[in-house]
Every structure is written in C-alpha cells, then in structure tokens.
Structure 1
Amino acid sequence: MPDPSTYRPAPGAIPLSPGVYRFRDEHGRVIYVGKAKSLRPRLSSYFQDVANLHPRTATMVTTAASVEWTVVGTEVEALQLEYSWIKEFDPRFNVKYRDDKSYPELAVTLNEEFPRVQVMRGAHRRGVRYFGPYGHAWAIRETVDLLLRVFPVRTCSSGVFKRAQQVGRPCLLGYIGKCAAPCVGRISAEDHLALAEDFCDFMAGRTGNYLRRLEEQMREAAAELEYERAGRLRDDIEALKRAMEKNAVVLADGTDADLLALAEDELEAAVQIFHVRGGRVRGQRGWVTDKVEDVDTASLVEHALQQLYGGGAEAVPREVLVPALPEPAGPVREWLTGLRGAQVDLRVPQRGDKKDLMATVERNAQQALALHKTKRASDLTTRSRALQEIADALELDSIPLRIECFDISHLQGDDVVASMVVFEDGLARKSEYRRFQIKGFVGQDDVRSMHEVISRRFRRYLAEREQTGEWVVPEQAGSEEDDPQAPGGPVDPETGRPRRFAYPPQLLVVDGGRPQVAAARRALDELGIDDVALCGLAKRLEEVWLPGQEDPVVLPRSSEGLYLLQRVRDEAHRFAIGYQRGKRAKRFTAGGLDAVPGLGETRRTALLKHFGSLKKLRGATVEEICAVPGIGRRTAETVVEALASRPSAAFAVNTATGEIMEDGAPDRSTADQGALDKGAETP
C-alpha cells in the first residue's frame, strides 16, 4: 500500500490558483478528480497524518501513487473541467449517481411543416418544444391520448405520414377523430400549426382561457339547438379537466423551477428532483449514490447539479431550489446561467409554497432511500463484502479489485472464439471487454483453446510493458516531462485512454474446472507470470477450483463472493456466445455466394481466396473465374450471372484462414496480433 509521503509534491510546487487535480494509482489510472479555488491548501490537506483523515479519504490517498493538477482561470472553468474529467475517466473514488438514464419527455416538433407530438429522450433539439420529464413513457401517452380529442395533432412517424400521402388515405387516428389528418389535406399546414401551438399553450399551463372559450362555445351550441356539437364540446372539456388533474397546480405564480432534495446517511444518499413547469409538477426523477468520498450536503448538491445539467439533456429553468447551497455558490450559479443563457436563481427556499413543496420532495427522497435499503444492502457494502469473501476463500494477499474472466465458445468445433470480460470494484467494465478468435487449430478442445487465449492475452501484456517500460511514479508531480500520459506510461498518448492490455488483473477466472485451470496456470508459468491469482468456476456444482488443488473450494450458496463470481462467469459466457453466433451467421452467408446453384462451401471459399474480395470477383470475367481450381465454365457463367443480378455486397476473405470478413477490414492473420485484439466492444 503506497505511502502518501512518497508522492507528496515538493513544498511550494503547488500553485495558489484555481484548478482541477487528479490522483492516479500505480498503473496510471485516474481514481479521483477534484477541484479547488486554491490548489495548494486543498492538496496539502490530503498529505497530513493518514490517521486524521476520513476513512474513505485515507483509502483513496493510500491507493493513489501520484497526483497532478491543471491550473484554470476561474472557478467556473474548474467546475466545467472537473465534470468533463469525471465523465471521461469514471474515477472509482468520486461520487457516482446511479440511474442516470434519460427520462422521457413530451415533445412537439414545431420545426416541421406539420408538427408532430411524440415521446423523446436525450438531448434537446432546436425548434422542438419539450414538456416534462416524466417518470414513465406511459404517463405521457395517457396524457396525449386525452388531449388528442381536443387537439388532434399529428402523432404518426414520418414513414407512416408519407405512405398516407401516397395512398390518399389517413391512418386509424384520422378516422376516429384523434388526428386532423393533414396527410390527406383535411387541414392546412397553417391551421395544423395553430392547433399544435394551442396544444403547447395548454401543456404550458395556460388552460383557464381555453376552457372558458370551450364552455362558451358549448352554451352557444346548446342555445342554437346543436345538441350533438354541444355534447362533443362537453366531452372535450371533461377530457381536458382529466388531463389537468394529472398535473396538479402547486405554485400559483406559474413558476418554472427544479426542486432538488436529499436524504442521506453515512454510506449513501438519495436525490429526488421535481420538475415544475408553469406552476405544475411535470416530472419527477431520482438517484441513489454511494458516498465513496467524504462529502457533505453542499458537495452532494453540487454533484447532483452537474449530473442533471452537465450533459446538456436537461434544460435549466429560471429557478433551481436546493436544500443547501454549494460552497462557494457563485461559480455554480454562473455556470447554470451560462447553460441557460439567462439569469438562474439558485437558492434555498425559506417560506411559503416553495418551502412546502421542498418538504414534499425531501419526503420522497427519504422514502426512496428507505426503499433502496429494504431491497438490498448498500451496493458498495455488498460489493466490498463479496470481494473480501473471495479474497478470504482463495487466500489472496489483497482484495481483487480487478477481475478478468475468460470463456470459450464454439459450435461442434467450428468458429472457436473466446471472450475476456473485466470487472473492477465488483462492477462490469465493458469498455475493456475483448474478443479472441482461436486460429491455431480447429476442434472441440476447450483446454487447448484456454491455454492459447491466456497466452495471447498475457503475452500482449508483457509486450506492451516491455515496449512502454514500467510506469514510474513521477517524482515532481505536475511536471510535463513526467506526465503518466507520456509514451512511457500505460495510457495511449494519442487517444488519452488506457492501452488495451496495460493492466494485469489481481484475479484471473476461467470458465471451467480443473483442466481449464491447469491450462491457464501452464500458460502463465510459461510466460513467467507469478503475481496473478487464478481460479476456475465449474458450472455443474458451482465449485471454485484452484491450480494444483485436488479438491475444489465450495463457497456457501448464500455467499456474496460466489454470487459475484457467477455474475462474472455468466457475463463472459454471454459475451462469447454473442461473438460466436455473429461469426457463424457471417460464415453461412458466405458473402452472397450461398445461393449460387451448384456452388458449395468449398468452392465458394476457393473463389474468395483466389480473388481476395467479392468486389474483385464481381469484376472478373468467365475465363478468369475458370482459372480457379475446381471451377468449370458452366459454373463460372452461373457465378457471373448470379453476381450481376444481386446487389453489391462488401465481404472479403482472410487469405490465411479462409474466414469471411468485411471487405476492407484489416487482415488479422498473424498468430498473436490476430483477432487477439479486435478491440473493445460495448454490448
């Protein structure tokens, strides 16, 4: 465990300016990102006696091996840079809000000739009017279904709209009166736009005048003895009132505001947000976070605001009401104002309706935290317990923070592939998943395949370590010459991301029993690697096998450690199966030659091997095709005719293996550089 004094910056080396700092571990990975209005006192606070630090802070500084910083001009720039680095590096010691999915919103595409009402997620688009967000998409559809009776705005997709224009017949909604059918000219573009604007006005809270106008029209129709029209207007009014009941008025002044409240304990914090638009609660969302760093309520509020508005998906309202102001509040308020393009009032409500609504939001946060705890113990606590149980059962020297698992997949010996999945801190690290294509042989030999894939993975690790050199902790932190992202480190200087196999795991898991474990151990011994723990998980009885052991380690069925190993193994199996199925499907299509009469798999492969790609084969003459061994003139004529009648396909063949691949893809025929590293895939 590193001693913080070994990488403490020299006295006076840290500037007094605002900036953002990063702590890195011994492998160069960023494990914590922070900001400060003055870097020197903030960073100096980390290098006091470890016993005086908060337990989580002490764990962070003893895990780190270096610290670096970047000076910025203002505290607002520091806030923006901190958010960008947290998103880029995903540091394990920073607060991480879970359930950061994009919430659905009701959108009206006023930028189109015929505006459409639809459910949208993600970043806001120019010219589209948004309402929400809502907790569920079905809540939006219920509201829209009620309002379409009064505002029959188009809701169909562009494809359905164009088809209706072509055939001159509207869809079902046009027949039942829930669409004005602009596709067939029942309403002009100008009138349909006015209808969409009325819909937006109603959703924005301007409902009173519209309801009064409908009631007046209903009375006039009744006075003129037009009872059917009056009945329709009466039903329209009832539908609008039911829609209004779903969004009760909470603030009489038509306020646009977001209210954020927290409920927290020593380990976790729950965040609840109410979106109030036009004085009505239009949406609600919430997160739960593990307090992996030592943070107070003000810091949690700041992190929540970064999470909510930093990605640009959420519009900033005029008011943002919080339980505690960030310290300092000025940079955050200035940052929000810049995002909105107008003044934002960031404050703590003190009295009146807004304070009462804040109390309601806080009660929701408390209930969310209690519900989270009743479902399961803290994720962080559970993961820590699982890792500790694995370390105890396997008698490891330290907790396996990085676990890699390998699995072999094939179909009766064909298309043999392997997968590598990575779990860090008990969570899947999908950006570091890898796929392997077994090329040394063909057959149902999982043991031999496991030996090959382990050898290739760690041979690549040794090659990268030899190429880049062991990463040495910078003696003078903050100096450009000793930047861990320089060519001598495990971080690629071109992309700024970790090299593919730069980090060894603390625990290597293979899918299988004693034979697979023995094969993996043999591969590690051949490469001289003795600092990586190894085990295998057999499917039948879920036994954990260790190299050289006659009997397996049996973990209790209720063990969190066994549950984590099962998750890792199942994820490796899923990833391998997906890759193997994709390869098999591609092989069976054979680049579009599979339907040529009289052309079997052997001759298809021979043709593609000879010409190298389907594009070149398509341009070949009958005489050139006849030059391929085993291809006669009649078959060559059939191939030319078939390719001329089919659309161009983009497939080629690996000249060393016969594998069908996309035309233009690199020829990965070298044994170790082969498909070892087709790159990361995030399923």
Structure 2
Amino acid sequence: MADPSSYRPRPGEIPDSPGVYKFRDEHGRVIYVGKAKSLRQRLANYFQDLAGLHPRTRTMVTTAASVEWTVVSTEVEALQLEYSWIKEFDPRFNVKYRDDKSYPSLAVTMNEEFPRVQVMRGPRKKGVRYFGPYAHAWAIRETVDLMLRVFPVRTCSAGVFRRSAQIGRPCLLGYIGKCSAPCVGRVDAEEHRRLAEEFCDFMAGRTGAHLRRLEQEMHRAAEEMEYERAARLRDDMEALKRAMEKNAVVLTDATDADLVAVAEDELEAAVQIFHVRGGRVRGQRGWVTDKVEEVTTAGLVEHALQQLYGEESGDAVPREVLVPALPDPVEPLAEWLAGRRGAAVDLRVPQRGDKRALMETVRRNAQQALALHKTKRASDLTTRSRALEEIAEALGLDSAPLRIECFDISHLQGEDVVASMVVFEDGLARKSEYRRFQIRGFAGQDDVRSMHEVVSRRFRRYLQERQRTGEWATGEDPGAEDPGAEGPGTGDPGTGEPGGGPDGPAPAEERGGNRPPKFAYPPQLVVVDGGQPQVAAARRALDELGIDDVAVCGLAKRLEEVWLPGEDDPVVLPRTSEGLYMLQRVRDEAHRFAIRYQRGKRSRAMKASPLDAVHGLGEARKQALVKHFGSVKRLRAATVEQICEVPGVGRKTAEAVAAALAQAAPAAPAVNTATGEILEDREDR
C-alpha cells in the first residue's frame, strides 16, 4: 500500500487548466482516469489527509504509485479524451458498464454495396445503422417481415447472395416480392440503396411521409382504374401501420428522445435506457456496474451517456436526452452531445407531464434490473460455493462456513434500540430463522455494548438448548439433519423474537412437537456490522461463555474491510471477490431487517401514543413533536416553552400536550402469569 505523499507532484508543477489525468500502480498499469476543469484543483483533492477522503478514493490513491496528466484546450476535449482512455486502458477504479443481458438489434449494413437487413448482437460496427435494442429477436423478425412488403431490401447472407448471382436465380423472397433481388440485377446498387435508406428513415420514426406517399399512389392507381395495384398499395399501408402498432405510443407530441434512469445502492448501479422515436418506444437496453469509484448519480449518468453515444454515429443521438440528474457543470456534456449529433441537444431532467411519467417507468425498470442482477448473482450454486471458499480462505477457516449469522444494531438517537440476527445457510437466506432483539438499560447507549449483549443472549440460549437436548454441535448442515427445521423455532423472551420472518411468529401448533429449537444450531461464522470494536465485543461475549469453535469477523460500512478479532489491520478482499459480495449481502440483509423492526416499533408507538388524547392534534404535528424531541419520553420531560418551539405548535396546544402526557402513566411491562417472566422483549405480547 503506497503513501500518496511519495508520488505527490511538487507545488506549482500541476497546470491550472482543463485536462485529463491518469493514476498508475507500481507496475505501470492505469488504474484510474479522470477529467477536470482545473487539473491543479482536482489533483490537490487526492493528496489531502487520507482520513478526509472517501473510502473508495482512499483505496485508489493508496493503490497508485504515480500520477500523470495531459492538458487540453476545453472541457469538451477533456470529456472526449477521458472516454477514449477509459476504453483503451480499462482502469479498475473507473465505472464500467456491462450489458445486463444480450440485446438483439435490427441492423442495416449501409457499409456494403448492397445493404442487408439483419438481426445483430454484440459490439456495434462502423457504417452499420442500428435500431433497438429489442427485448426479443422474434419481435424484430416480425417487424421486418411486415416492412419488406414496402421496402424489399436484401436480407440474405453473403454466401446466398453470391450463389444466387452465379446461378442467375433469386432466392424464395425474390420470387414472392419481399426482396428486390439485386443479386440477379432486377434493381441496380443505387436503387437498392435508396430502398435501404427509406427503410432506415421509417425505422427512425419518419413514418408520415412514407404513409402519405403510399396513400397518394393508391388514390392515383384507383383513379387510373389500376385496382390490383391500388389494393396492393392498400395492403402495404396496412402492413406499415401494423409494424408501427407494435410499438406503443408513449409521447403524444411525436418526440425523438432517449430516457436514462438509474437505480443504485452502495455497491452497484443499474442503468436503463428507453429509445423513443416518433413518440413510440423503439428500443430498450440496460447496463449494470460495480461502483468501484466514488460517484454520484449525476456521475453515473455522465458515464452512461459517454458509453451510449461515444461510438455511435450522429443520427443515433436524439434531439432530447432526459436524465434523472445533471452533472455540474452541464455545459461540457451538452456541447459534446451536440457535437456528436451535429445539432443542439436538449439535455435536461423532466419535471412534469408525460415525460416525467415515462421517466418513472424507466426508473422502475432500472430497479427491477438491479434486483434481478443481485438475485441471479446470489442464486447461482457455483458462485455461492466459490464465495464460501473465498471467505474460508480469507478468514483462515478450516472449512467453508455453511451457516453464517449476522448481527446489526439499529436505533433512533439512542432510543428504541433493537438488534437483528439473520441466518444464511449454503449462501442463501434462511428467513424462518431470523431473530429480533430489544436492547434494554445501559446497553442502548452505544453499539459496542449492545453488540456484546445481543451475542451473549443468542449464544447463552444456544448453550441452554444444547444442554436441554443433550446434542453437541458438530458444525454440519442443520437443514440436512432435520427436514422439519425450516419452520420458526421456539420463542424466548430473554433472547429474541420467535419466527422473525416478515410474517411474524408461527402459530403455536407449528412450534411444538419434536422439532428441535433453532438456537440449538451453532453457526460456523458470526458476522457483525461494524469494525474492530464491534468484533472485539462479539468475541469477548463468546469467550465469556466458553465458546471457541465459532469464528467471528466484522464488515465495516463504506470501507468494506473485513476485521478479525485481535488483528490491528483488516483483511482487504478484492472488489470483484464473490466472498466479499456475499459478506456484503449478509450485512445488508441484517441492516434491512433491523431497520424494519425499529421502524415498526416506532410506528406502533405512534399509534398507541398518549398524544392521541390531545384534541385537535393531527398526525403531522404528532410526528413533528416526536421527531423534534426524539421520543415521547423526552417530550414528556419538556416544558411548555420548549414544546412551543416546535413549528406549528402554539402555547394552547403545548399546554394541552403537557397535560395529556402528565396524566398518561408509562405502560407496565407484560408478565407471563405462569412463570412471572417479564415479556418486554416479545413483540407479540
């Protein structure tokens, strides 16, 4: 790991002008490419105190061993050079989009003497006109089949074309009128190219002129009593209209636009693009990327537009490009797009109307694409096996951890402190064995003490269950031992919630019988959401209980570093590691489950609030009061003057609130009448 000060340029060495810079590692490989309006100001940001850098930026500058730059005249040139270098060097810390599926496109090979219409996938070639991408290849073939009645362009391969020319007979399409048969000289190259250009014009959305021309020819043929020709032209018009109907009208003003939407989380992002031509959706495509650099939504949009239009011909750039966020400044990108198109491009965020509604549709597609990408990545058996092996190797475990339990703490300003435990077996979530905890007393004051309490309570119950059943844990897959182990286990007032899944506890009849309690199953690995302090607390809790056969690690947010007990330095897994991805997924699931429980508790507390007794106090002001003071308990301790400080609360209302809270006594904890236990941990009491 390099020290950035060892390769920092000397003062005054970096020019104060637009340019593009490259960071290289110790082997000379380019690991990051960026652009700047002022190279001096931008590069100075990388060489500040490491503690002030974003974690991903910190990783990049400590991986690099040198930096170099190239000065350009304008920001537009910087944008173009940045794109070229990213394509050339493929830097590991730059955003790299990859198609979330293989989309077919309709291609017209205008770079050939006799252009050909065909379905194409993969990288785009120079001189070929592309339309789409489409969701299915059969949809393209249906459209082409309809349009060949009017624009009989060649669709055969080079081999079939040469053979027909040699034998002097066209293929079947030539005989049935769906090819103009340039192979046998029915039309010359110029006439055939004109048909291909008309085909492209129609696919690009310029449909009105062709339909009007056909209608005029049809009327002319009818006036001349050429009824067969008029009927054929009528059928041609119907074929074109059916081809148009395959694309729904989404913008009534016949707009040509591309709509770009982004869905993202801390680790990955998905981009969806809808291509609208003539008010109709003519194509759709999507990309996904790992967020290996510090990047905002506007930055993701800029990278997407660079990739989308960087290698396209000018006619692929529409008059409008609608995005969810604009880079700052936006002028260089708009000017670059205008240069690609050869005319002005309206780059903006839609605010209202049909375009805003369509942008919401594109955004939902992006969210679904991101969720599908994560599901596919997590559900692949080979990938899961490799991930578990990588975790075992990184943590020094004897075998792959077939059962992983992860703990997370959640609270709101120190109040309503809760914790979650999620379970993954063989790399898949075991939601029936999730547990939820309430934290009481001093433990809620900080996450470290809370983590110690939760781990202690979970494994104290494990020891009780093991002693009760007389079964000593072997570390084998519990699901293989007991086919009935999928149902929720027995609840425990002092340890956690029964059931724990989204649907709450299981019915009592499902929790009885000979089914072994779930806390009797030990994990091979405990993951805590946090860094070194939380890991030390979890390890201390296990040591106090005499448990030494369960490994512990922590995954710190943002840094994404894996911490082990007693180690001063973290274990850094590669960003592309499937093991790191699984740990992140386990951690994120524990965080989601804890947040859901904590929010649910707050919601229930609001519904049963003593503020309900205050006449004329609506939900908005109730929420404002609780949000201002952090909890009803703190609101009860506030004076009338302090309550008046809340926006929208007058003195009369404040006095009514104080009186209602003074009269309402805190609810007594529920008690099990059979055992005398306090049931304050049970959500379903």
Aligned to 1:308: 308
Q: Residues 65 and 282 of structure 1: is their aligned pair in 2 closer, same or farther, counting only changes over 3 Å? A: same
Aligned to 1:368: 369
3-state SS, counterpart of residue 96 of structure 1: coil
Superposed, which structure 2 residues align to 1:227-238 within 5 Å? Answer: 235-238=235-238
Q: Residues 206 and 93 of structure 1: is their aligned pair in 2 closer, same or farther, counting only changes over 3 Å? A: closer
Q: Are the equivalent residues in 1 in contact too, given 2:152–2:178 (CA < 8 A)?
A: yes
Q: Are the equivalent residues in 1 in contact too, given 2:33–2:85 (CA < 8 A)?
A: yes
Aligned to 2:456: none
Aligned to 1:323: 324
Q: Residues 368 and 43 of structure 1: is their aligned pair in 2 closer, same or farther, counting only changes over 3 Å? A: same
Q: Are the equivalent residues in 2 in contact too, given 1:124–1:313 (CA < 8 A)?
A: no
Q: Residues 106 and 12 of structure 1: is their aligned pair in 2 closer, same or farther, counting only changes over 3 Å? A: same
Aligned to 2:406: none
Partners in 2 of 1:270 and 1:378 — Cα distance? Answer: 19
Is the aligned partner of 1:10 residue 2:10? yes
Q: Which runs of 5+ in 1 are unaligned?
A: 396-558, 565-683
3-state SS, counterpart of residue 243 of structure 1: helix
- In the alignment, which of 390, 395, 401 is matched to residue 393 of structure 2? 390
Aligned to 1:258: 258
Q: Residues 115 and 26 of structure 1: is their aligned pair in 2 closer, same or farther, counting only changes over 3 Å? A: closer
Q: Are the equivalent residues in 1 in contact too, given 2:100–2:369 (CA < 8 A)?
A: no
Amino acid at match of 1:149: R
Partners in 2 of 1:363 and 1:563 — Cα distance? Answer: 24
Offset at 1:373? 1.9
Superposed, which structure 2 residues align to 1:65-80 within 5 Å? Answer: 65-80=65-80
Superposed, which structure 2 residues align to 1:409-558 within 5 Å? Answer: none
Encode CA deviations 1:312-344: one digit per residue, 9 max, x unaligned: 468322222211111221111222222223222
Q: Residues 389 and 96 of structure 1: is their aligned pair in 2 closer, same or farther, counting only changes over 3 Å? A: farther
Partners in 2 of 1:271 and 1:308 — Cα distance? Answer: 11
3-state SS, counterpart of residue 260 of structure 2: strand
3-state SS, counterpart of residue 273 of structure 1: strand
Partners in 2 of 1:193 and 1:9 — Cα distance? Answer: 57
Partners in 1 of 2:153 and 2:189 — Cα distance? Answer: 11
Q: Residues 132 and 14 of structure 1: is their aligned pair in 2 closer, same or farther, counting only changes over 3 Å? A: same
Aligned to 2:152: 152
Partners in 2 of 1:52 and 1:134 — Cα distance? Answer: 45
Partners in 2 of 1:189 and 1:9 — Cα distance? Answer: 60
Partners in 1 of 2:199 and 2:310 — Cα distance? Answer: 30
Partners in 2 of 1:72 and 1:209 — Cα distance? Answer: 45
Is the aligned partner of 1:24 residue 2:43? no
Aligned to 2:164: 164
Q: Residues 124 and 318 of structure 1: is their aligned pair in 2 closer, same or farther, counting only changes over 3 Å? A: farther
Offset at 1:369? 1.0
Q: Single out whichever of 365-374 and 274-283 deviates more from structure 2.
A: 274-283
Partners in 2 of 1:327 and 1:80 — Cα distance? Answer: 17
Offset at 1:67? 2.6
Q: Are the equivalent residues in 2 in contact too, given 1:154–1:179 (CA < 8 A)?
A: yes
Offset at 1:358? 1.7
Q: Are the equivalent residues in 2 in contact too, given 1:268–1:378 (CA < 8 A)?
A: no
Q: Residues 262 and 5 of structure 1: is their aligned pair in 2 closer, same or farther, counting only changes over 3 Å? A: same
Aligned to 1:57: 57
Encode CA deviations 1:443-501: one digit per residue, 9 max, x unaligned: xxxxxxxxxxxxxxxxxxxxxxxxxxxxxxxxxxxxxxxxxxxxxxxxxxxxxxxxxxx
Partners in 2 of 1:69 and 1:264 — Cα distance? Answer: 31
Offset at 1:42? 2.0
Partners in 1 of 2:186 and 2:154 — Cα distance? Answer: 12
Aligned to 2:333: 332
Partners in 2 of 1:25 and 1:63 — Cα distance? Answer: 6
Superposed, which structure 2 residues align to 1:111-126 within 5 Å? Answer: 114-120=114-120, 122-123=123-124, 125-126=126-127
Amino acid at match of 1:354: K
Is the aligned partner of 1:281 residue 2:284? no
Aligned to 1:181: 181
3-state SS, counterpart of residue 240 of structure 1: helix
Offset at 1:297? 0.8
3-state SS, counterpart of residue 138 of structure 2: helix
Q: Are the equivalent residues in 1 in contact too, given 2:104–2:135 (CA < 8 A)?
A: yes
Q: Which runs of 5+ in 2 are unaligned?
A: 399-576, 583-685
Q: Are the equivalent residues in 2 in contact too, given 1:259–1:320 (CA < 8 A)?
A: yes
Encode CA deviations 1:511-566: one digit per residue, 9 max, x unaligned: xxxxxxxxxxxxxxxxxxxxxxxxxxxxxxxxxxxxxxxxxxxxxxxx966999xx
Offset at 1:131? 3.1
Q: Residues 389 and 33 of structure 1: is their aligned pair in 2 closer, same or farther, counting only changes over 3 Å? A: farther
Superposed, which structure 2 residues align to 1:283-302 within 5 Å? Answer: 283-302=283-302
Partners in 1 of 2:88 and 2:73 — Cα distance? Answer: 21
Partners in 1 of 2:275 and 2:581 — Cα distance? Answer: 38
Q: Residues 367 and 68 of structure 1: is their aligned pair in 2 closer, same or farther, counting only changes over 3 Å? A: same
Amino acid at match of 1:284: Q
Q: Residues 384 and 180 of structure 1: is their aligned pair in 2 closer, same or farther, counting only changes over 3 Å? A: same
3-state SS, counterpart of residue 270 of structure 1: strand
Q: Percent identity?
A: 80
Aligned to 1:493: none
3-state SS, counterpart of residue 304 of structure 1: helix
Q: Residues 94 and 17 of structure 1: is their aligned pair in 2 closer, same or farther, counting only changes over 3 Å? A: same
3-state SS, counterpart of residue 106 of structure 2: strand
Looking at both structures, which has the greater relative contact order when contacts are Cα pairs under 8 Å and sequence separation is at least 6? Answer: 1
Aligned to 2:344: 343
Encode CA deviations 1:346-373: one digit per residue, 9 max, x unaligned: 2222233322222221111111111112
Partners in 2 of 1:72 and 1:195 — Cα distance? Answer: 44
Offset at 1:393? 3.7
Partners in 2 of 1:183 and 1:364 — Cα distance? Answer: 44
Amino acid at match of 1:181: A
Partners in 2 of 1:369 and 1:12 — Cα distance? Answer: 45
Amino acid at match of 1:319: E
Q: Residues 330 and 562 of structure 1: is their aligned pair in 2 closer, same or farther, counting only changes over 3 Å? A: closer
Q: Are the equivalent residues in 2 in contact too, given 1:34–1:82 (CA < 8 A)?
A: yes
Partners in 1 of 2:73 and 2:17 — Cα distance? Answer: 8
Partners in 2 of 1:332 and 1:29 — Cα distance? Answer: 28
Partners in 1 of 2:309 and 2:190 — Cα distance? Answer: 35
3-state SS, counterpart of residue 60 of structure 1: helix
Q: Residues 6 and 369 of structure 1: is their aligned pair in 2 closer, same or farther, counting only changes over 3 Å? A: same
Partners in 1 of 2:202 and 2:91 — Cα distance? Answer: 44
Q: Residues 241 and 385 of structure 1: is their aligned pair in 2 closer, same or farther, counting only changes over 3 Å? A: same
Partners in 1 of 2:9 and 2:262 — Cα distance? Answer: 36
Q: Are the equivalent residues in 2 in contact too, given 1:165–1:184 (CA < 8 A)?
A: yes
3-state SS, counterpart of residue 376 of structure 1: helix
Q: Residues 391 and 138 of structure 1: is their aligned pair in 2 closer, same or farther, counting only changes over 3 Å? A: same
Q: Residues 171 and 302 of structure 1: is their aligned pair in 2 closer, same or farther, counting only changes over 3 Å? A: same
Amino acid at match of 1:325: L
Partners in 2 of 1:43 and 1:190 — Cα distance? Answer: 55
Aligned to 2:37: 37
Encode CA deviations 1:425-458: one digit per residue, 9 max, x unaligned: xxxxxxxxxxxxxxxxxxxxxxxxxxxxxxxxxx
Partners in 2 of 1:196 and 1:313 — Cα distance? Answer: 17
Encode CA deviations 1:581-616: one digit per residue, 9 max, x unaligned: xxxxxxxxxxxxxxxxxxxxxxxxxxxxxxxxxxxx
Partners in 2 of 1:23 and 1:189 — Cα distance? Answer: 51
Count of aligned positions: 399
Amino acid at match of 1:331: P
Q: Residues 243 and 63 of structure 1: is their aligned pair in 2 closer, same or farther, counting only changes over 3 Å? A: same
Encode CA deviations 1:111-132: one digit per residue, 9 max, x unaligned: 7665433335644645x65433
Partners in 2 of 1:140 and 1:89 — Cα distance? Answer: 35
Q: Single out whichever of 75-84 and 183-192 deviates more from structure 2.
A: 183-192
Partners in 2 of 1:146 and 1:333 — Cα distance? Answer: 38
Offset at 1:44? 2.2
Q: Are the equivalent residues in 2 in contact too, given 1:389–1:560 (CA < 8 A)?
A: no
Offset at 1:37? 1.3
Q: Residues 165 and 394 of structure 1: is their aligned pair in 2 closer, same or farther, counting only changes over 3 Å? A: same
Q: Residues 387 and 303 of structure 1: is their aligned pair in 2 closer, same or farther, counting only changes over 3 Å? A: farther
